Structure 1
Amino acid sequence: MVDLVVRSRRAVLPGGERAAAVSVAGGRIVAVGEHYAVVEAAEDVDLGGLALLPGLVDTHVHVNEPGRTEWEGFASATRAAAAGGVTAIVDMPLNSLPPTVTVAALELKREAAAGQIHVDVGFWGGAVPGNAGDLPGLHRAGVYGFKAFLADSGVPEFPPLDPAQLAEALAAVDAQFVIHAEDPDHLHAAASSPAYADFLASRPPEAEHAAVATAIEAARVAGARVHILHLSAATALPLIAAARAGGLRVTAETCPHYLTLDAAGIPAGATEFKCCPPIRDAANRDLLWAALADGLITCVVSDHSPCTPDLKRRDTGDFAAAWGGIASVQLGLPVVWTAARERGHSLADVTDWMARRPADLAGLAGKGRIAVGADADLVAFDPDATFVVDPRRLHHRNPVTPYAGKTLTGVVRTTWLRGRTVTGAAPHGRFLTREAS
């Protein structure tokens, strides 16, 4: 007898979408059979017309605990993740205090998270000036790789690397590096203004283009693995294409907001839309979709980066003074699916971008796919249901979102983590480490 069988006429499997029965025992998938296969199970769930997806993997989440837990915390962030069909996250090394730049800081973060995570959680380490010697130990302690900024991070305790320091970090450890690619020489101080165009002008595409070139050259010299985070400027895509064609281990991601929002549609003073790098125009957005479709951009992740409402400066609407970050870990799936289906993409495409490929980036072999041996992380998803985004129904700590009032398509009905339903009441997430993945 197995613990659970979930049946769906629309199971999204590695080979595509088909009717299937997924059997679960001991938290893992033990069989993927025909829809009406006879299975002796303690629990038999037939989803009917609902789609069955693998749990999404979000490798770009800022949880902020400890230190800035009033911005976000492990309980609220992982509850929001589960509500959005995300069953594994990899936490960024900032904006927590201390940042995850030493083994001691990693242990503090694990202690802070213990007993309150609703999905499985892994961690990135941080590469900052002067900590190259700490990177091998952090890698041995289980982080999935290292985040580095090439421009100001927004918090003083996580300073950027210059090209020489980036080279030193890449030489210190054979690991996945994930890079915030904006070049400080091409950034300008934004004037105090409620006009989004003024903020956008302060972070031109040239800043991303130059920083991507820097990261690619560093990868070439070191023979390193480099991943470009939250790519927003399509002008950098030819650089990434050339690097990959030349055999370099360079990949890139983008985010739901860059794929669905348009600079021209951002109202004056609507600082909930501020993020770095910024949301650009519709023509740029179309180029990002094309790169995602042809595999040049490998995955879509949230860059969930919340703060307290006062830091968004909605009282003044001043984009220059507002914190830059969009909180969307709960909404990423319906946001992307709403736009993807309009562009002719399938649920299999979306789960590839948001489950399998992020899992592959971090080396989470047991995540992001419905396959025998994988963790039984599953999502019952209604791909045709619509809803209006109500910030009061979001689970992240501070209900600020640029999607408020938008009608989205696709509703998560149930999320299973290793075969157990995630209710948001009793946390049963686990820590993920590089060695155990």
Structure 2
Amino acid sequence: MWKAPGFIPTLIAVFAAFGSWSLLLPVIPLAALDAGHSATLAGASTGIFMATTVATQIFTPAALRRIGYNPVMVAAAFMLGVPALGHLLGLEAWNLLLFSALRGIGFGALTVAESALIAELMPARFLGKATGMLGVFLGISQMICLPTGLFLANTVGYPVVYVAAAAVALVAAVMCLRIPRIKAQPRVNPAPQDLVGVAPAWKLVLVPALAVTSLSMSFGAVSSFLPAAVQELDPVTGAVIGGFMLSIIGGASMVLRFGSGVIADRNGLPGATMIPGQVMGFAGVLLMALVIAQGWSVWWLVLAGILFGGGFGIVQNEALLTMFFRLPRSRVSEASAVWNIAFDAGTGLGSFVLGAVAAQVAYSGAFGVGAVIVALGLLGTVADRIVGAHRITELNNTRARLRQLPLPRPRLQRRRRPSRDE
């Protein structure tokens, strides 16, 4: 796995890109709240970031085919970092929304390219571990940068966080220069006879995409409002504990995402840990809602963070591998785009919609609604497991086609026993 060309620079670029994102993810909403803005606007700062992220991700596969991974990723890293300095101009609503939107453009292109590049560079037998290792670097980045952003904001002020986020993104740009200069594989249009019995691509990726979206919506609420919610429970050490909880979520996600990839490689196909991961995520966000609603000790949130983060990490890896497994190799960039759109759209919707819920019925209500959404995603996965048991997931899958042919099965003939006279 480590010998694949460009794999290590890609991982470092992932670390830096998500580090820049994580530094500002809880800080921008918190800065908006401190400036006197409503919870709805605070959530909208993350929501518009994710909206431009998703819009960019739609067009990224085409750019990867025409321009190539290297130039797209370098330009995206610059776009992620430089607009962070725009927040130095003030905390007015236009500032929060405009520069969040510009940063989202860079983040959208970078996330699609990174995930697709792993599938381009890595042999199939190592793909589960490689995507799991991608999650490890992502998780370490979140563990370090989520609490660091909050710590810097509370000790030396918000401007330092903005500068740090820009600097870390530039590290990603430098590492992207060392990535092989390759382009995404051209899209293959199969012949009509090859499409007989093959499910449309959107059906193959819909359910894993919804699984990611359901959990990322809760993650949007957790990352945006958990620090503020913990401050209400414990005003003295709330900021520190809130940052610690975000680190716990990132660590659990990192460990179990890699473990899920190892299991997928051993089985030769993904899916074994998807439903357990969704159950864990549901239990975690539901426990968060109960702790905040009942005023229990904030240390119960440690267990909630482990459950939610671990389940989220499992679902991330299983969903990405499932999309890679179900679609042809020539469409890995589309699979990466769909996965990232599901992740980022869910995060944006969660921070915006559940932020509006929090403004009406408090943070506990927002997390409770998040738990219901995760449960709906779980039901979708169970239904897909039952209904789609015999779905053909690959073009030119001869074995699957033969199973559908109405041919009589040969009967085994019993060997005649010789008589005593023979």
Q: Normalization by structure 2: what TM-score?
A: 0.29
Name the larger-Rg structure: 2
Richer in helix (by share):
2
Q: Normalization by structure 1: what TM-score?
A: 0.28
Higher relative contact order (CA 8 A, sep 6+): 2
